[in-house]
Amino acid sequence: MKARYSIVSLIRNALNYHEGWPEAWRSPEPKAEYDVIIVGGGGHGLATAYYLAKEHGITNVAVIERGWIGGGNTGRNTTIVRSNYLWDESAGLYEHALKLWEGLSQDLNYNVMFSQRGVMNLAHSQHDLRELQRRIYANYLNGVDSEFLTPEQVKEFCPIIDLRGNGRYPVLGASLQRRGGTARHDAVAWGYARGADALGVDIIQECPVNGFVIDKGRITGVETAKGTIKAKKVGVVVAGHCSVMADMAGFRLPVESRPLQALVSEPVKPIIDCVVMSNAVHAYVSQSDKGELVIGAGVDRYNGYGQRGSLPVTEETLGAICELFPMFRRMRMLRTWGGIVDTCPDASPIISKTPVEGLFFNCGWGTGGFKATPGSGHVFAHTIAKNEPHPLAAPFRLDRFVTGFLIDEHGAAAVAH
Ligand SMILES: Cc1cc2nc3c(=O)[nH]c(=O)nc-3n(C[C@H](O)[C@H](O)[C@H](O)COP(=O)(O)OP(=O)(O)OC[C@H]3O[C@@H](n4cnc5c(N)ncnc54)[C@H](O)[C@@H]3O)c2cc1C
């Protein structure tokens, strides 16, 4: 068992100049064989390993990460968390995740800095208004908190917004999910890693998986930079690289991988205490605990694996932010980066068995999977442990692209992560 983090351990370690903290997780060499290998040490992969051990008692598990844990999209996203999706299937999955978020710091004994500051989606046209209202009513029916705000209420909720949108995109109303907000992305990866490690999971970093060992249609292991490791089951959770891995296993995924960008400004005093998003002008903003404005952009218009993103997207985004918040015109940007997002044609994820027995894929979260991290890990662990989909994951099977039972969430996903 790991030492618990508490006020007592904080004081004890302060007396030793914080030099006595134990390691948060081990760095073991891989064993020859595991019951389950999870490929990909992002939030979803680490959460899967944690719930496999915690909920299903499967502890002979390794998470194999080609770089460092949380170095993929988990550490690159803008951390928006919400559950106000349109369709019943999505509402079920994302609301399951949101409920787990609400107790996650306590569950992991790790402060993931979950802040339910409210997420507001703006409407700039009659079409936007109708789409938002339809979604709000769908949310009511699914027991997901959601409300409509008039322009006056928008201004009250976020006083620094310019409702005229510089005359180009006036704000006509908004939807608000008060239980939505943000969380600290690194802490989510580290908290799950620490929790999983404490339950016996091996976390192996700097070890790319280069292939699968498949015998008569059944997975028996993975080829890695540290040699072949045997496994009874393998779960692949590699976000933007999922189609590359599917190719290694001999099947195709209906996924496109594209760079998605974000930026942060220089840190300033608290100025905006909610999340504001706009699909129409393609931008959203919140403020981090360090004071930086966290600004999200749209995806590049072409497929690629460069973790940078193209300049026109940045320009477009900053133009939109300055229209909504003219006072940000004088802010200086500190950093910009990109991550490779894996988007499905219906903007919903894949949580599924595959044509290879014992091989499972969890991918296709596109621009909005951070919010789902706890729920995704929870239902994927069930799917792997029981060899059958968790009821909340069942609609997200790979074969929906054959049966035609798509879950079209373009309206709820869009830029609005
Ligand atoms: C700029 C940006 C902003 C975003 N904003 C939001 C947001 O506000 N809200 C939201 O909900 N979502 C957001 N997202 C989406 C979100 O970040 C992702 O959906 C989510 O983090 C995916 O988590 P993951 O664990 O599946 O993937 P990742 O964190 O990418 O983890 C996958 C891991 O697999 C590893 N890997 C890949 N190939 C191999 C291999 N061959 N062998 C071993 N390991 C491998 C990678 O190194 C990586 O660490 C955003 C994404 C980006 C890029």
Q: Collapsing DSSP states into helix, strand and coil, what is residue 248?
A: helix
The atom number, within ligand 1, closest to the CA of 340 reads 53
Amino acid 166: pLDDT: 78
What distance in angstroms lies between residue 4's CA and the mean position of ligand 1's atoms?
28
Longest alpha-carbon distance in the chain = 64
**Rounded average pLDDT over 15-27:** 94
Q: Is the pLDDT of residue 417 over 60?
A: no
User: To test ligand 1's pocket by mutation, which of 73, 84, 341 has the most ligand atoms within 8 angstroms of CB?
Assistant: 73
Give the DSSP letter of residue 41. -
Residues at CB less than 6 angstroms from ligand 1 = 39-45, 64-67, 71-74, 76-80, 208-209, 237-239, 241, 260-262, 296, 339, 341, 365, 367-371, 417
Calculate the dihedral angle through the C-alpha atoms of 9, 15, 16, 21, rounding to the nearest 10 degrees: 20
- CA 219 to ligand 1 centroid distance, Å: 24
pLDDT tens for each residue of 234-264? 999 999 999 999 999 999 999 999 999 999 9
Assign residue 309 a region (left: φ > 0; alpha: ψ between -120 and 50; beta: otherwise).
left
Minimal-distance CA residue to ligand 1 atom 3: 77
Instruction: Determine the pLDDT at residue 415.
Output: 60
CA proximity to 181, closest of 90, 287, 85: 287
Across the chain, mean pLDDT equals: 95
CA 133 to ligand 1 centroid distance, Å:
30
Pocket test for ligand 1, best of 238, 295, 317 (most atoms within 8 A of CB): 238
Q: For the residues 205-227, what does the mean pLDDT come to?
A: 98
pTM assigned to the model: 0.97
Query: Could you read off the pLDDT of 88-102 as tens digits, one per residue?
Result: 999 999 999 999 999
**Ligand 1 centroid to 351 CA: how many Å?**
15
Task: Label residue 414 by pLDDT band (50, 70, 90).
Answer: low
Task: Report the alpha-carbon distance of residue 233 to residue 38 in Å, rounded.
Answer: 9
Helix H segments across 217-268? 242-249
Centre of ligand 1 to C-alpha 115, Å, is: 21
CA-nearest residue for atom 13, ligand 1, is 368
Catalogue the long-range contacts made by 3-10 (C-beta closer than 8 Å, 24 or more residues apart).
4/109, 5/109, 5/110, 5/111
Domains for the chain: give ranges and CATH numbers.
Answer: 28-110+185-255+346-413 (3.50.50.60), 119-180+257-343 (3.30.9.10)
Instruction: Give the atom of ligand 1 at the shortest distance from the alpha carbon of 46.
Output: 25
Is the distance from CB of 77 to CB of 53 less than 8 angstroms? no
- Among residues 185, 203, 183, the alpha carbon closest in space to that of 193 is found at 203
Q: Which of 48, 356, 353 is nearest to 212 (CA)?
A: 356
Radius of gyration of the chain (CA): 21
Q: With CA atoms as reference, report the closest residue to 262 among 335, 327, 324, 343.
A: 335
Q: Is the pLDDT of residue 416 over 60?
A: no
Report the alpha-carbon distance of residue 283 to residue 321 in Å, rounded.
6
What is the distance in A from the centroid of ligand 1 to the CA of 37? 18
- Give the three-class secondary structure for 347: coil
d(CA 17, ligand 1 centre) in Å: 35
pLDDT tens sequence across 30-56: 999 999 999 999 999 999 999 999 999
Residues in the chain: 417
Say if residue 169's pLDDT is above 70: yes
Note the pLDDT of residue 170. Answer: 93
Q: Is the pLDDT of residue 75 over 70?
A: yes
- Among 103, 118, 212, 191, residue whose Cα is nearest residue 156: 118
How confident is residue 3, by pLDDT bands cut at 50, 70 and 90? confident
Question: Ligand 1: distance of its center to the CA of 156 in Å?
Answer: 35
Please report which helix (H) or strand (E) contains residue 402, including its range.
helix 400-403
Residue 237 Cα: closest atom of ligand 1: 26
**For a pLDDT cut of 90, what percent of the chain falls above it?**
93
**Distance from the alpha carbon of residue 245 to the mean position of ligand 1, in angstroms:** 15
At residue 63, the pLDDT reads 98
